[in-house]
Amino acid sequence: MFSVRKVSLLVALASSCAAPLVTANSDVALDDLIVTGTRSETALLDLAGNTAKVSEQDIDLVRADNITEIMNRLPGVMVQRGNGQEHLTAIRSPALTGGAGAGSFLYMQDGIPLRAAGFANVNGLFEVSAEQAGGIEVVRGPGSALYGSNAVHGLVNVLTRAPSLDLEREIDVSVGPHDLYKFKGTVSDTVGAHGYRLSVNGTHDGGWVADSGFDQQKLTFRHDYLGDVDSFQTTFSAANLNQETAGYATGLDRYKDTEAVKAVNEDPEAFRDVKSVRLATRWEHELSDNTYFSMTPYVRHTEMDFFMHFLPGTPIEKNEHDSIGLLSAYYRELDGGHSVIAGLDLEYTQGELSEIQTKLDPAVGDPDYNGPRNKYVQGTHYDYDVNATVIAPYIHTEWQVAEQTRVTAGLRFEHTRYEYDNNVTGGDAVTGGTKLGSIFFRPDSRTDTFNEFSPKLGLVQSLTEDTSAFINLARGNRAPQTTDLYRMRGESNINITADSETVDSLEVGVRKVGAGIQYEATTFYMKKKDYFFRDSANDNVPDGKTKHYGIELSAFIPFAEQFDLGGSFTYARHQYDFDREVLITGGPSAGDVNEPTSITDGDDMDTAPRHIANIRLGWNYAPESRAELEWVHVSHYYTDDGNVHTYAGHDVLNLRANYQVNSNVKVYGRINNLLNTEYAERADYKNPGGGDRYFVGEERGLHVGASYSF
């Protein structure tokens, strides 16, 4: 006996194996089944809120070297590439850094967070194999009551690729500029009730900038069992990154001198080494045709060593954590089209972090240094352990209140407990014995707890057979990152602490799926309080307030048989919602330079372009073959929180194509930065001692490759 749920699982499995390219006369160009919204497959038209998806076919077409190339196709999303595999994320937000950048976005694989909530990584997306994923789903704004800490500005769920119905074997190789070589391989099959897929990929990048580059390897193994009553999905993932990092190019408009930038690495000692391993099994047990429960135990390990080239003292940080967790849920379909999901998420984590500076203070021996003097002392800045416990019950309900009207309501309670142990003798500041004292402060060992409620209320109104409108009210919370609490910076930080960050969100939208033109238009307004961030003077601000509002558009328009136009456009304002005066002080040799700056209510946040766009013209010129011209637009934005320094924005064109030679061989190629535009992937301004800083965009480059199936 097969329930509706089992049939939908089989259909999803079969469709994932067929994987046709989107064509101008396709019935469905945008995926109409979404997993992330309810932790189970749901029709996109029935979702009270936005969810955008990068399809498996798009992943195979773009063949991204960096996840920014695929993520930025979505509305409301701007992921800025640093060097190598580093990146900073913006989802209905500016590009956030530090603990705010790590803690504002929830990164998941098949619904399981890639890292523990209080130990997030600002570059977290390089720890998952997006290159061979079955899709990437993104919720913009607070996650639903089903998801907890870090789902504040948005969440990203990378879906592993399902096993094939028949034996599938494929190898894929490609080459690009600056000694860029990539290999991907996969083998998959289904035998009886068992299906499996093993995928591996490796990248060697010689580095666009001198003395930089990286080697990265990833492995994903998935096994599915589909029985009459029980089903299991087991996933094992591992990743390793060894990166020689190129630092910022400094100086006003330095990004316009690409020849000089690529010739010299301004931080030749910078590196980043990362390892991660995850294992999870989702067990679903069917109780009746309309009731089942799921349990997903998982374990994870991550470790990272890196040179903090973005700080004046350039210390080396080492961090790692081990977690064990359980996601459990009970699903019930009620008469009349109603449904209830009730669940409990549990996680326990043991983490540790050290920060050690081997160099002298950057001011020593440099009479021209215009930065903080005698603050960044040699030695151990921090060495601590944190044990974290998270307990989170939740309920998610959907009610068919009228034939065309559906209401969603949910509530999540999350209890977070940190047990912090300072391993360095004494709970006082690291002292430099000089005029300004230390920038570092170590709290005494202690225990901190945070309790938060996250409600959600939404409404979906069906307008036609393929069009619906929605309204969504949601609150997102996150407990502070452990680094916000226990790695304090700034002379004024001794008597401050971070509180849980809260975002309240309202969004209204309309979407159309199915044949022909498809689109989604959404407008949103959000307010955030207890925003903990580091300002341009490198001081922590524990109680910031911000507001965010805008319009997001996405569309797919087929025309003239073989052509289509698709893409996204976002207009958004991200503004400070409070006032704060800042005084930046230079050292004596700099003439006691004082550069006052301030945060004023209504000012734009730094690194917050008001409009971004990604527009694509597609041509399906032969069976299973496609060409695509892509325009990437980022508007002007401020690079400091005082709205004094700016980056002009950029427009970049990319061209890509693939061709199915025969049933076994496909060739592909792309030209990035087709017009050889001088631009910055990321721009910011740090004072004192930093000034204008850029991660410079790569010049025009040709990539070619081929895949062979057998």
For residue 23, pLDDT beyond 90: no
- Closest Cα to residue 492, out of 566, 623, 382, 580? 580
pLDDT of 145 reads: 80
How many other C-beta atoms lie within 10 A of the C-beta of residue 696? Answer: 25
Retrieve residue 696's tokens.
């410079």
pLDDT of 1 reads: 37
Distance (Å) of CA 194 to CA 166, 200, 225: 12, 20, 5
pLDDT of 488 reads: 77
Give the residue numbers spanning the domain of 334: 4-709
For residue 429, pLDDT beyond 70: no
Identify the bridge partners of residue 622 per DSSP, sorted by sequence position: 625
For residue 431, pLDDT beyond 60: no
For residue 503, pLDDT beyond 90: yes
pLDDT of 148 reads: 82
> What residue has token string 């990743």?
239
What would the mean pLDDT of 434-457 be, rounded to a whole number? 80
Better pLDDT: 680 or 4: 680
pLDDT of 35 reads: 85
- Quick one: pLDDT band at residue 676, thresholds 50, 70, 90? very high
pLDDT of 360 reads: 78
Looking at 275-279, 335-339, 383-387, 705-709, which range is the least confident one? Answer: 335-339
pLDDT of 17 reads: 37
What would the mean pLDDT of 374-378 be, rounded to a whole number? 72
Q: For 341-368, write each residue's pLDDT tens digit.
A: 999 999 999 999 999 998 877 666 555 5
pLDDT of 596 reads: 52
Q: List, in sequence order, every beta strand (DSSP E) within 479-610.
A: 488-489, 501-512, 518-534, 540-559, 563-576, 580-585, 594-599
Q: For 177-232, write each residue's pLDDT tens digit.
A: 999 999 999 999 999 999 999 999 999 999 999 999 999 999 999 999 999 999 99
> From CA 64, how far away is CA 654, in angstroms rounded?
12
pLDDT of 375 reads: 67
The contacts of residue 11 (CB under 8 Å, 6+ apart) are none
- Quick one: pLDDT band at residue 536, thresholds 50, 70, 90? confident
Distance (Å) of CA 28 to CA 352, 510, 518: 47, 18, 9
What would the mean pLDDT of 276-291 be, rounded to a whole number? 97
- Closest Cα to residue 580, out of 613, 539, 611? 539
Looking at 346-355, 441-450, 493-502, which range is the least confident one? Answer: 493-502
Q: C-alpha 550: how far from its chain's center?
A: 20
Q: What angle do CA 378, 380, 383 make, to 5 degrees?
A: 165
Number of domains in the chain: 1
pLDDT of 435 reads: 31
Please classify residue 591 by burial: count the beta carbons closer than 10 Å to its beta carbon, then call 0-12 exposed, 13-18 middle and 19+ buried: exposed
- Quick one: pLDDT band at residue 15, thresholds 50, 70, 90? very low
What would the mean pLDDT of 669-690 be, rounded to a whole number? 91
pLDDT of 25 reads: 34
What would the mean pLDDT of 119-143 be, rounded to a whole number? 94
Retrieve residue 239's tokens.
């990743």
The percentage of the chain sitting over the pLDDT mark of 90, rounded to a whole number, equals: 75
What would the mean pLDDT of 610-623 be, rounded to a whole number? 97
**212-240 residues labelled b (16+ CB within 10 A) or e (exposed):** bbbebbbbbbbbbbbeeeebbbebebbbb
pLDDT of 598 reads: 83
Looking at 13-27, 198-212, 233-247, 622-636, which range is the least confident one? Answer: 13-27
What would the mean pLDDT of 130-144 be, rounded to a whole number? 93
Mean pLDDT of the chain: 89
Better pLDDT: 434 or 244: 244
Q: Where are the alpha helices (DSSP H) in 27-103?
A: 56-62, 68-71, 98-103
Looking at 220-229, 367-376, 481-490, 560-569, which range is the least confident one? Answer: 367-376
> What residue has token string 């034996």?
167
- Quick one: pLDDT band at residue 463, thresholds 50, 70, 90? very high
Cis peptide, bond prior to residue 480, ω within 30 of zero: no
- Quick one: pLDDT band at residue 39, thresholds 50, 70, 90? confident
Residue 369 φ/ψ, nearest 5 degrees = -65, 130
Looking at 284-298, 329-343, 418-432, 561-575, which range is the least confident one? Answer: 418-432
pLDDT of 497 reads: 76
pLDDT of 146 reads: 86
pLDDT of 691 reads: 86
> From CA 44, how far away is CA 34, in angstroms rounded?
6
Retrieve residue 701's tokens.
């480059």
- Quick one: pLDDT band at residue 143, thresholds 50, 70, 90? confident
pLDDT of 68 reads: 94
Dihedral in degrees, nearest 10, Cα atoms 72, 74, 75, 81: -20
- Top mean-pLDDT range of 16-30, 37-51, 197-211, 298-312: 197-211
For residue 580, pLDDT beyond 60: yes
Looking at 176-190, 254-268, 537-551, which range is the least confident one? Answer: 537-551
For residue 425, pLDDT beyond 80: no
Q: In the chain, count of helices (H) and strands (E)?
A: 6, 40
> What residue has token string 């979404």?
34
pLDDT of 592 reads: 37
CATH value at residue 96: 2.40.170.20
pLDDT of 438 reads: 60
3-state SS class at 383: strand
Q: What is the pTM of this model?
A: 0.92
pLDDT of 439 reads: 73
